[in-house]
Structure 1
């Protein structure tokens, strides 16, 4: 009898422990879409291997616990981060030293990221306030020749030779208006009430025409409005714009249909998306038949995005395509394609809501053109006032649950 009891207790002692379930709910507060960096946008001297890079980003919502995502998605070899820190940015290349905290990866201060991979840092207690500028500083070891990054940062980064990760100021650092290897920052949503809207687009969403270091792209303008309204103050904005991007094929960066899974569906805490993309597809179409074929392709692609997003519980809002009359894209057949796409967006009934930016931004006296007050002068991209107008044209009620 005693032996039987001992056997039973022995079986209990060797039973596998119950798995630990992490119920943490993360929400992205800042992100940028990754692409293979073109030769003209590669890092300046002294280069990345062995050196320190400080990058400034503008978050949307705040929190008390963060994690940072690093990317080697388009690398042709491993990328080593020997040390990384996060801090509140003070100005230019200077951080608020007392706020600086080291990042870790599986408890270690360094990590090697394989080609084609992204990694998250460990969770870190770090007080993050809404609309704060944050500095992420990294020292690299080995770095691949093919550089993963985001050329259209509209924000200055600082590159210094050697190890200066802990320095408050990077004296003599080279400056470049690009981001490299930095993909996102998430916060813990303690009350599980927050959510994010992803803005999927091309150079207009990426911020072409906005001010360098002014953080006034239209998604930034939307974010400020969301923050000012108590009903939407917990809604984050994640910018998934890539300058020169197309929906149907690879132009600059992967086609929107190819990056949709990564840049929209996998974003933590995403509840909504706004799609403002297709003008580069139309603008590069050849002839009337080609332009109408592109219009049909865009409509089919939007439908696929809607179905995939709805399957994940994400509400999908479409912005009508802005006028481009007088630009290098302008032609009668391309304008007809834009009108066809906008007509489907408005009347097709597939989107959860329509944001009619065409109506908001066009010149009443010449509807095929942008309003002069909103035009950079190339008749395609909005200027800073135009970005403000886009942000103002979006109904905040779309983000009230």
Structure 2
């Protein structure tokens, strides 16, 4: 692949039995009935959350010049397709394009290139002739003439992408693929490294949001997990906390019905953390209030065991238990996904079940991720 002319690629099958992307007339129709997203409303089928690059991220911090970034993403719902780009942490505009999706040209207001303003987002036209199947993999190739300067990005999607043929697991500027075919729950997961997929292999689609989407045909699940992310506090590497990024990462998503909050363990265990359970619960309540003000349902996940993790202490365990007990009462969120109950060892409740532990005492393995997906009640997402 060269940086000057983006190659047109077809859509790759997601896995055995998943349908491919097919040609069809594009475009969104009138909004569907209020009881659900319907096949005519735009919803996010794939999404990721951005952070600012650090010195440890040379490609993102330096930026790209005359390069083509190819993202290979798995769609949780299908239909007509459009793309969304963002530069949340940018300081200068970036020229985007030409772009292809599934080998087909992408336009922005009828043009092959568009400027993405610093701090802004950019949504494409519906991709002409492209209709995606639920569960398909879509390749999006974005040429960046540059020099771009530092790029807003997501560090690790646990999937293979490339820049001019060089493999990367990072995604630059692309934040969403939106479709018109979701007819089930439309969910955003605001989470940390467990949501992001640490503990599962790359390119396997075994993160618990992936497995949740597989359990809910027709649903759209946006994975907004960032490794190291916290509810209350910001971090240069792990990004703004859930309080700071909620409006940008969650409320900006089209067609959303429910937000599932899976944050808290990093507030406890990271250095200079926040270990007052009252402040953690107050942070949850603020997110719930903002979700309800936007007409969304808010589901909360209990904090899973991390007794095998290097920073665990009995004092932190007491805080975790206090927070989880309050979340389970039903007076914080609209509904609860009890991740603690799903993963804990019955004989040693501060620990992950051995069959679910990836080996570090904090992050579950693929079987543990399956248990988390099973702990989310579909009725709570509608």
TM-score range relative to shorter protein: 0.7 to 0.9
Q: Is the counterpart of residue 110 in structure 1 residue 113 in structure 2?
A: yes
Q: CA deviation at 1:393?
A: 2.0
Aligned to 2:146: 142
| Unaligned runs of at least 5 residues, structure 1 | 1-20, 88-99, 161-172, 228-233
Q: Is the counterpart of residue 308 in structure 1 residue 312 in structure 2?
A: no
| C-alpha distance after superposition, 1:136-174 (max 9, x if no partner) | 0011112433221101211111111xxxxxxxxxxxx21
Aligned to 1:212: 202
| C-alpha distance after superposition, 1:336-357 (max 9, x if no partner) | 1111110110115232211111
Aligned-partner Cα distance in 2 for 1:84–1:203:
30
Aligned-partner Cα distance in 2 for 1:113–1:44:
16
Q: CA deviation at 1:40?
A: 2.5
Aligned to 2:26: none
Q: CA deviation at 1:195?
A: 4.6
Q: Are 2:54 and 2:61, in contact at CA under 8 Å, matched by a contact in 1?
A: no
Q: Is the counterpart of residue 77 in structure 1 residue 92 in structure 2?
A: yes
1:49-68 maps to which residues of 2 (within 5 A)? 49-63=65-79, 65-68=80-83
Q: Are 2:63 and 2:149, in contact at CA under 8 Å, matched by a contact in 1?
A: no
| Unaligned runs of at least 5 residues, structure 2 | 1-28, 32-39
1:25-44 maps to which residues of 2 (within 5 A)? 25-43=41-59
Aligned to 2:122: 119
The equivalent position to 1:246 in structure 2, one of 230, 236, 259, is 230
Q: Is the counterpart of residue 299 in structure 1 residue 299 in structure 2?
A: no
Aligned to 1:186: 178
Aligned to 1:176: 168
Aligned-partner Cα distance in 1 for 2:307–2:46:
33
TM-score by length of 2: 0.85
Q: Is the counterpart of residue 260 in structure 1 residue 263 in structure 2?
A: no
The equivalent position to 2:300 in structure 1, one of 306, 318, 330, is 318
| C-alpha distance after superposition, 1:286-336 (max 9, x if no partner) | 69xx62x2x221101111111111122211111110001021220121111
Alignment size in residue pairs: 343
Indicate how the Cα distance of structure 1 residues 381 and 104 shifts in structure 2: closer, same or farther if over 3 A, else same.
same
Aligned to 2:159: 155
Indicate how the Cα distance of structure 1 residues 321 and 115 shifts in structure 2: closer, same or farther if over 3 A, else same.
same
Q: CA deviation at 1:124?
A: 2.1
Please report the RMSD computed on the Cα atoms of aligned residues, expressed in angstroms: 2.1
Aligned-partner Cα distance in 1 for 2:339–2:62:
43
More helix by percentage: 1
Indicate how the Cα distance of structure 1 residues 223 and 42 shifts in structure 2: closer, same or farther if over 3 A, else same.
farther
Indicate how the Cα distance of structure 1 residues 297 and 370 shifts in structure 2: closer, same or farther if over 3 A, else same.
same
Q: Are 1:70 and 1:119, in contact at CA under 8 Å, matched by a contact in 2?
A: yes
Aligned to 1:231: none
Aligned to 1:281: 267
Aligned to 1:236: 220
| C-alpha distance after superposition, 1:182-212 (max 9, x if no partner) | 10011125xx955510111100001111110
